């Protein structure tokens, strides 16, 4: 799917990305999908470590072509004074700077927020780090896994009495990216009035903590420490996974009052559906194991497909855990253009579509992840450097 880039909502905005791996680059990916010109600065020779993460084809990670699509790659040695000067020149012309280095790194390169604000008073600066730019932990290294742990998510993951498990993706990083993009959009709106930029400080652990629902007030008011509950959703009943007779599981969310009654009618347990104790969620939650057992008794006598079809007919929300194979073949994914075919340096491949969906100015997938330094000469020439100067920078290892 392609669109006229002139119609994209962030067209005309210039983003300089100084970061690597996930949190910062994922944020700028989202901006690039909606028209922002994203210039990604990478170390010469090696580039972003994500280029070598997970499955590799033709020397480059397949993940790279999702995370870095629509970006332009520029190589700069940011540890050198010449590289820092060039970075400042790019930032001087930018609307947004995205970085996810350890706090203090940019300052050591002469690019503190105060310095950059003098250089570019309208600059919006997104800083993503493990613990934020302030506080006693600010200097500690922090990856998404640590943010998930400190933010409270890992303690709730898994089954009681067993080691905590992780979601199979870098959810702490991605949540921080989403908060970062929200912050950028808020700052852009405010800049329309003030004509001033500002700094957005996003911490990985806080992004996870922000998802923890009623965790803190339950502890504060009742002294209740929420514990892992496996596949169930504590305090909300019924909402769990249930076994089928073909070795699979279905997920059923029958926790609405009217939905619960329809579910009980379907499984021939009207006695539970009409029981006044279970008319509302608080009563059902107090007897979650009993209700779950009744549902499991019904599902365990049927195949997954039989269960899903019966639940659809009864208008009870239900599904099953999709694999990648399920996703790429699902007609609903395809109808909503959430699986798209793109051409990259590694060949044609299926990739996730663009979110969110805008009715009039939807985002787009233009290019796959760039070759390391693919756009260095074009970008530096835009700063006024001659071909001879660019060659000199390359000879000195600056680019």
Strand-by-strand arrangement of the 239-243 sheet = 239-243, 249-253, 318-319
Single out the residue of 85, 73, 68 nearest to residue 42, CA to CA.
73
The SS3 call for residue 316 is: coil
- Residues 6 or more apart in contact with residue 182 via CB below 8 angstroms: none
Catalytic site includes residue 173: yes
* Contact (CB, 8 A) for 76 and 103: no
Catalytic-labelled residue, pool 37, 48, 77, 173: 173
User: Which residues are CB-contacts of 378 (< 8 A; sequence separation ≥ 6)?
Assistant: 72
Residue 151: in which H helix or E strand, if any?
A: none
The Cα–Cα gap between 186 and 197 comes to 11
Crossing angle for the helix pair 288-299 and 257-266, nearest 10 degrees? 40
DSSP state of 138: T
In this structure, are residues 399 and 390 in contact, taking their beta carbons and an 8 Å threshold?
A: yes
Burial of 195 (0-12, 13-18, 19+ CB in 10 A): exposed
Query: What's the CA dihedral at 132, 138, 142, 145 to 10 degrees?
Result: -60
Integer CA distances (angstroms), 264 to 125, 277, 294, 321, in order: 53, 14, 9, 23
Instruction: Give the strand pairing for 199-203 and 239-243.
Output: unpaired
From 172, 207, 189, select the one nearest 124 (Cα to Cα): 189
- Catalytic residue numbers read 173
């Amino acid at each position: 799917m392609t669109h006229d880039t002139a119609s994209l909502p962030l067209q005309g905005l210039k983003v300089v990305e100084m970061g690597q791996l996930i949190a910062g680059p994922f944020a700028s990916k989202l901006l690039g999908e909606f028209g922002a010109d994203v210039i990604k600065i990478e170390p010469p020779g090696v580039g972003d470590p994500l280029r070598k993460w997970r499955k590799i084809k033709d020397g480059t990670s397949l993940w790279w072509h999702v995370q870095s699509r629509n970006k332009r790659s520029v190589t700069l040695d940011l540890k050198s004074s010449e590289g820092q000067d060039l970075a400042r020149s790019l930032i001087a012309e930018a609307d947004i700077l995205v970085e996810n280095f350890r706090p203090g790194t940019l300052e050591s390169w002469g690019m503190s927020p105060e310095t950059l604000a003098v250089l570019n008073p309208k600059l919006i600066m997104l800083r993503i780090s493990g613990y934020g730019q302030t506080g006693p932990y600010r200097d500690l290294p922090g990856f998404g896994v640590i943010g998930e742990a400190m933010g409270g998510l890992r303690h709730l993951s898994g089954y009681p009495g067993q080691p905590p498990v992780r979601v199979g993706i870098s959810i702490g990083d991605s949540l921080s990216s989403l908060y970062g993009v929200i912050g950028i959009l808020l700052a852009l709106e405010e800049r329309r009035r003030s004509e001033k930029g500002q700094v957005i400080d996003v911490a990985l652990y806080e992004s996870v903590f922000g998802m923890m629902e009623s965790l803190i007030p339950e502890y504060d008011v009742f002294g209740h420490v929420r514990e892992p509950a496996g596949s169930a959703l504590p305090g909300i009943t019924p909402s769990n996974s249930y076994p089928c007779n073909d070795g699979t599981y279905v997920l059923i969310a029958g926790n609405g009052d009217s939905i619960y009654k329809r579910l009980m009618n379907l499984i021939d347990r009207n006695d539970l559906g009409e029981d006044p104790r279970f008319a509302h969620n608080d009563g059902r939650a107090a007897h979650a194991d009993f209700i779950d057992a009744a549902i499991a008794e019904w599902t365990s006598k049927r195949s997954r497909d039989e269960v899903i079809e019966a639940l659809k007919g009864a208008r009870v929300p239900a599904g099953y855990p999709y694999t990648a194979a399920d996703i790429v073949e699902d007609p609903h994914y395809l109808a909503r253009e959430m699986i798209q075919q793109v051409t990259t340096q590694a060949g044609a491949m299926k990739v996730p579509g663009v979110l969110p969906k805008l009715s009039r100015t939807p985002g787009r997938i233009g290019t796959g992840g760039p070759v390391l330094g693919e756009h260095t000469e074009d970008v530096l020439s835009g700063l006024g450097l001659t071909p001879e100067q660019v060659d000199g920078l390359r000879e000195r290892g600056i680019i």
